[in-house]
């Protein structure tokens, strides 16, 4: 993973990587990218707390991920996001806010004007579960072809525009489409002052893993604003090839980690070279099966 401030004055992105995060279920790994706006503390709260909420919901569902159906995964992730939103909305994150020394600390204790995107992935031995709220994005590289596992929540997306207007809100074009002329995304954690137009409910996809899966890319819009899915996949494939050695070979895990880090670094440099004006955060996950 790589996360840089870029050309922004403040760093508001946060990344969470939690291998083996659910003790009751073997082989489950959590990855999250959170792009804050208004300040950093909601993104930081998501980084510190979201994996715990997902693990708790998994335990309530029996703790065995292989037994969960697609609707059960979706319901579980929706509950996790709802709880995270309730935490930051109720002021649970005040302690995190102070430790992060964010600039809104002395203004409004709960900071209702602060929010964050959240793209969260749980990788299981046989599935990739992606929950997305906002305009960060998850892309699977499968046999050289990019497979989007999330859809950006932009206010002018037809179904999102319809939902906002049905709730009594408006999308105003002010340097792009914005909810009430303010926020350039239609879903986010936090942002109490824009509810019910901006919601925290994620869209969830459950994808079966195959032998052709190569890598997974999670990133904030600081990357996706200037780099296409196709270009990102090409860069990552170049960095992670050739395939890692057998699992029993010494150093194979280290080599895989280095390749993923190199890929994330290359994508970040590319975004900055293409004049990204935002914070840039990138996570690359090696999904290739080890040789038996």
Classify domain 2-153+188-286 at the CATH topology level: Phosphatase 2c; domain 1 (3.60.40)
Q: Compare 111 and 275 and report the one with higher pLDDT.
A: 275
What is the rounded CA–CA span in Å between residue 150 and residue 18?
20
For 135-139, 141-145, 234-238, 285-289, which range has the lowest pLDDT when averaged over its residues? Answer: 285-289
Domain ranges of the chain: 2-153+188-286
What is the rounded CA–CA span in Å between residue 262 and residue 268?
10
3-state secondary structure 85-113: HHHHHCCCCHHHHHHHCCCCCCCCCCCCC
Neighbours of 131 (CB within 10 A): 28
What residue ranges in the chain does DSSP mark as E strands?
2-4, 13-19, 29-37, 115-116, 118-123, 127-133, 137-142, 145-148, 171-173, 177-179, 189-190, 203-208, 213-219, 280-286
Q: What is the pLDDT of residues 74-108, one digit of tens each?
A: 999 999 999 999 999 887 554 444 444 566 654 55
Containing 46, the helix (H) or strand (E) segment is helix 41-60
Residue 174 is predicted with a pLDDT of: 92
Q: What is the pLDDT of residues 122-145, one digit of tens each?
A: 999 999 999 999 999 999 999 999
Indicate if the pLDDT at residue 248 is higher than 50. no
Collapsed DSSP state (helix, strand, coil) of residue 137 = strand
- Mean pLDDT over residues 49-71, rounded? 87
Alpha carbon separation from 81 to 201, 219, 254 (Å, rounded): 7, 18, 33
Q: What is the pLDDT of residues 30-56, one digit of tens each?
A: 999 999 999 999 999 999 999 999 999
Q: Compare 8 and 110 and report the one with higher pLDDT.
A: 8
Can you give the length of the chain in residues?
292
pTM: 0.91
Helix and strand numbers, DSSP H then E, in the chain: 7, 14
Cα atoms found within 13 Å of the Cα of residue 235, Cβ hemisphere only? 23
Tokens read off for 9: 């004055």
Indicate if the pLDDT at residue 281 is higher than 70. yes
Angle between helix 229-240 and helix 252-273 axes, rounded to 10 deg: 140
Nearest to 201 by CA among 105, 85, 123, 279: 85
């Amino acid at each position: 993973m790589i996360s840089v401030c870029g050309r922004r004055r403040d760093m508001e992105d946060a990344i969470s990587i939690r291998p083996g995060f659910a003790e009751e279920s073997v082989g489950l790994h959590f990855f999250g990218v959170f792009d804050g706006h208004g300040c950093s503390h909601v993104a930081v709260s998501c980084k510190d707390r979201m994996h715990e909420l997902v693990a708790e919901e998994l335990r309530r569902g029996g703790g065995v991920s292989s037994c969960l159906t697609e609707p059960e995964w979706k319901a579980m992730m929706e509950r996790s996001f709802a709880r995270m939103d309730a935490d930051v909305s109720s002021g649970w994150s005040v302690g995190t806010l102070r430790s992060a020394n964010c600039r809104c600390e002395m203004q409004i204790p709960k900071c209702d004007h602060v929010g964050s995107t959240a793209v969260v992935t749980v990788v299981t031995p046989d599935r990739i579960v992606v929950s997305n709220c906002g305009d960060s994005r998850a892309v699977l590289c499968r046999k050289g072809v990019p497979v989007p596992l999330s859809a950006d929540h932009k206010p002018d997306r037809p179904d999102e525009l319809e939902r906002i207007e049905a709730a009594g809100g408006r999308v105003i074009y002010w340097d792009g489409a914005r909810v009430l002329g303010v926020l350039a995304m239609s879903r986010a954690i936090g942002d109490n002052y824009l509810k019910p137009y901006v919601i925290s409910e994620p869209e969830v996809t459950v994808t079966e893993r195959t032998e052709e899966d190569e890598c997974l890319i999670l990133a904030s819009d600081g990357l996706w604003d200037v780099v296409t899915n196709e270009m990102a996949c090409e860069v990552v494939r170049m960095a992670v090839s050739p395939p890692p050695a057998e699992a029993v070979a010494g150093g194979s895990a280290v080599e895989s980690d280095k390749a993923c880090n190199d890929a994330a670094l290359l994508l970040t440099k590319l975004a900055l070279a293409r004049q990204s004006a935002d914070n840039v955060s990138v996570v690359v996950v090696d999904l290739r099966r080890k040789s038996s």
